[in-house]
Structure 1
Amino acid sequence: MILAALVMGAGSVMPAAAETDPPDYLTPMKAQQMWKVADGSGITVAVVDSGFKKVPGVPSESVLPGVSVMSPPVEHPDKKYPAHDDADGHGTTMTAAIVGDGSGGAPQGLAPGAKVMPVRTSIGMPLAFAAGAEGAEGIRYAADHGARIINVSWGDHYAFKKLKAAVQYAQSKGALVFAAMGNQGEGNNSTNLIARVPGVIGVGAVDEKAKALKLSSHGPDTDLSAYGGKARIRCPENRGWCVADGGTSYATALASASAALVWSAHPDWTAHQVARVLIETAGAPEDGSRRSDWIGYGVARPRMVLLEKAGNPGAPDVDPLAPAPTNTPGPVPVPSQKAGARAEAAVAEAGPSWQWLALGIVVAAGLGLAGTLIIKRRRS
């Protein structure tokens, strides 16, 4: 088994000069106008990641106590880790992208009225090999403690069975799960297996012109996309704010925030209904196709739901991405885009601001993981 390291690119230290600021993606999204309708209030977004550290630009009142599910080292089995700490900065960045206030070099969060529940794993720590199983535990915790949206801006192959079961448990509790597709678009294009679980929204990344980023991993599990270009992220070791590509990590946080806005405006909707309207109102691929492997059904546009009143929530208990029922007799069709899916190669070093947890599979048969890869759904 090969372990791929967690990496965090240096980016560039957050400058004071306005001309070097990252692109403004909130204005075209009409964020200010949306916030007059809904700002995420009443919605808890669990960020299962590297934790959260109090930093300039993220109001303390926007972050719940949360929990740490980090495994203690063997030599200190009783060691406890606080949820409000983050040696890496990745989880802090995701939190800021959702609820930041834009001060002190931080990004302005897309859903500033929401609450973030930090769930700290070993991402970015020496015991990072345990983060997949910890993440599964954290997803269950989030579902049991009121999180309506669960943000997973990382991927893991080794603990996929546990993660799949945890995601399905969270879904049974009514939670909506967003998973980053990964940042291997120009490499081996390894994609996040979590995105293959039915009902999970796989998120790709686009730039300020809504063009797919070349670094964005892509495939039939891409459902939505969001901005993932140059953004304010935490510098290495969580030291200050830097500017670098946010990648699919950042895009996933924005997709989660988009869902928080919609759910805040329609608190009686189910996870399926929130997902359905986001998919229906997404900015579709430019070639006129219904979806593409790069951006899915399109770029998330919560303004269409909040300001234009677009999107039909539909049935509360039907996954909008599930195969459409058919009355045609005969054998069940095989989902061609996923038939014969095999275990992905271990994810290697990903991109400037991407934390991709790859706890490895290369010898899939030896680990018995090939059989865990499931068909998520058949695309129409």
Structure 2
Amino acid sequence: MVMPAAADTDPPDYLTVMKAQEMWKVADGSGITVAVVDSGFREVPGVPSESVLSGVSVMSPPAEQPDKKYPAHDDVDGHGTSMTAAIVGDGTGGAPKGLAPGAKVMPVRTSLGTTMGFAAGAEGAKGIRYAADNGAKIINLSWGDYFAFEQIKSAVQYAQSKGALVFAAMGNEGEGNNANNLTAMIPGVIGVGAIDEKGMPLMLSSYGPDTDLSAYGSKARIRCTDNKGWCVRDGGTSYATALASASAALIWSAHLDWTANQVARVLIETAGAPLDGSKRTDRLGYGVTRPRMMLLEKAGNPGAPDVDPLAPAPVKAPAPSADPTAAAPRRAKSAGGESGDVPWEWPALGAVVAVGICLGIAVLVKRRRR
């Protein structure tokens, strides 16, 4: 149910739980640019114009108007504007207060939320490259696309080579077929799930072996339908991803000399671990983002600047057998039925645009970090 944002429909104050006011005395995101590759940004009450850069539109023009240009500061859907507000909003006019108010958001507009949304994947890949080339330290992808996966993967790897940290929403299909966003399985990408007001996994949040972190994604202030006013409704993994990106901005702004790997490592080490005592779960990943642990408690070890914290530990080769008759290990049979085939399938599913734009894809075997 969509409700107008008002005093009697306020969402839970997750910023108080996160101790945002205390954190902002140490770091507020200043010096960090977060690229929101999404549906664009519209200047609305509650989002300071000085917090949003000029950005770029990578929307493809219609065939009958090949020279048509689209402004980056426009958003017919409201999704990109909502993600921007979650990061740098000022809390006025019904908008949320952003978690990293000192950061700058670079809007990168794609066709998400329009009738040309099928082109958003390829456009998003271009947008990721633009963001990496123009100073974005963090790239927020609160959407997913299957058909342009190879282009997105190549663009993400390019951005990582430029030193950017990439966050991707897991998707909002947890109550249905649990289809996950394929982008989250790209090595080095932080896959983000959503939690509710009680810190439990949000039922609609997609989950799986590519969930790395979680953040609040339940009732939040986001743009109403057609980007008209602020409403309170579930933000899903889209909103959670924006908060994870903002958390990274806070940590990075306190340590501008750190690399993306070091910021990611501290986020993972200081996350609120699953309550069952597990190191990680498919629902929550390594836990809920808690930037206050580093900023206020000085917890977390940044570690090596050039080592992906999510890369699997090297496997020590077994000592050669002294028995010359020992059998050679059998090769595992892949899902394709023949030795050596790729061990999973990617059902051909399109991108879904909702409060959080998610991708339908079933990953059978996790092939993770570099």
TM-score, normalisation: structure 2: 0.91
- Residue 14 (str. 1) matches residue 32 (str. 2): no
Which residue is equivalent to 2:155?
166
Offset, 1:208: 1.9
Shift of 1:86: 0.2
Q: Which residue in the other structure is 1:28 paired with? A: 17
Q: Does 1:89 align with 2:89?
A: no
Q: Report the secondary structure of 1:151's partner residue.
A: strand
Which residue identity is paired with 1:224?
Answer: L
* Corresponding position of 1:342: 345
1:173-212 Cα shifts (integer Å, max 9, x gaps): 0000000000000111110100000000000000122100
Structure 2 match to 1:121 = 110
Residue type at the aligned position of 1:355: I
**Corresponding pairs, count:** 352
Instruction: Pick from 304, 316, 322 the counterpart of residue 311 of structure 2.
Output: 322
CA distance in 1, matches of 2:369, 2:279: 15
CA distance in 2: counterparts of 1:130 and 1:220, whole angstroms: 28
Q: Deviations over 1:149-184 (max 9, x none)?
A: 000000000000000000000000000000000000
1:70 aligns with 2:73: no
Conserved 8 A contact 2:75-2:227:
yes
- 2:276 corresponds to which residue? 287
Map Cα deviations across residues 27-52 of structure 1 (whole Å, 9 max, x no partner).
01000000000000000000000000
Equivalent residue number for residue 177 of structure 1 = 166
Are the counterparts in 2 of residues 184 and 350 from structure 1 also a CA contact under 8 Å?
no
TM-fit CA distance, 1:345: 5.4
Counterpart position of 2:356: 354
CA shift for structure 1 position 326:
3.3
1:375 aligns with 2:364: no
The alpha-carbon deviation at position 347 of structure 1 amounts to 5.7
Report the equivalent of 1:367: none
Counterpart-to-counterpart distance in 1, 2:259 and 2:228: 39
Say which of 109, 112, 128 aligns to 1:139: 128
Pick aligned residue for 2:179 from 179, 190, 213? 190
CA distance in 2, matches of 1:325, 1:263: 28
Cα distance, 1:329 vs structure 2 = 3.0
TM-score (norm 1): 0.88
* Structure 2 unaligned residues grouped into runs of 5+: 320-328, 335-341
Contact 1:190-1:346 within 8 A present in 2 as well: no
Q: 1:224, CA displacement in angstroms?
A: 0.1
8 Å CA contact 1:197, 1:374 repeated in 2:
no
Instruction: Report the identity percentage.
Output: 75
Cα distance per residue 1:289-347 (max 9 Å; x no partner): 0000011000000000100000000000000000112333378x99x9xx833214526
SS of the residue corresponding to residue 57 of structure 1 reads coil
**Tell me, which stretches of 5 or more residues in structure 1 are unaligned?**
1-9, 363-369
Whole-angstrom CA distance in 2 between matches of 1:131 and 1:227:
26
Q: C-alpha separation between the residues in 2 aligned to 1:181 and 1:374?
A: 14
More relative contact order in 1 or in 2 (CA 8 Å, sep 6+)?
1
Distance (Å, rounded) in 1 between the aligned partners of 2:129 and 2:230: 31
Distance change in 2, residues 1:231/1:81 (3 Å) = same
**Contact 2:210 / 2:366 at 8 angstroms: preserved in 1?**
no
Q: Which residue of 2 aligns with 1:5?
A: none
Q: Secondary structure at the match of 2:35?
A: strand
C-alpha separation in 2, matches of 1:348 and 1:129:
7
Question: Could you tell me whether the CA contact under 8 Å between 1:51 and 1:85 is conserved in 2?
Answer: yes
Please give the per-residue CA displacement for 1:213-234, whole angstroms capped at 9, x wherever unaligned.
Answer: 0100000000000000000000
Paired residues of 2:180 and 2:361 also in contact (CA < 8 A):
no
Q: CA deviation at 1:375?
A: 1.6
Do the aligned partners of residues 361 and 39 (structure 1) sit closer, same or farther apart at CA in structure 2, a change above 3 Å counting? Answer: closer
| Residue correspondence of structure 1 range 214-363 to structure 2 within 5 A | 214-329=203-318, 340-344=343-347, 346=349, 353-356=355-358, 358=359
Stretch moving more, 321-330 or 227-236: 321-330
2:200 to 211, 222, 246: 211
Q: CA deviation at 1:20?
A: 1.7
Aligned counterpart, 1:104: 93
SS in 2 for 1:26: helix
Q: Which letter maps to 1:201?
A: I
CA distance in 1 between partners of 2:75 and 2:104 (Å): 18
Can you list the C-alpha shifts for 1:273-299, whole angstroms capped at 9, x where unaligned? 000000000000000000000110000
Amino acid across the alignment from 2:93:
G
CA spacing shift, 1:45–1:348, aligned 2, 3 Å:
closer
Shift of 1:349: 5.9
SS at match of 1:255: helix
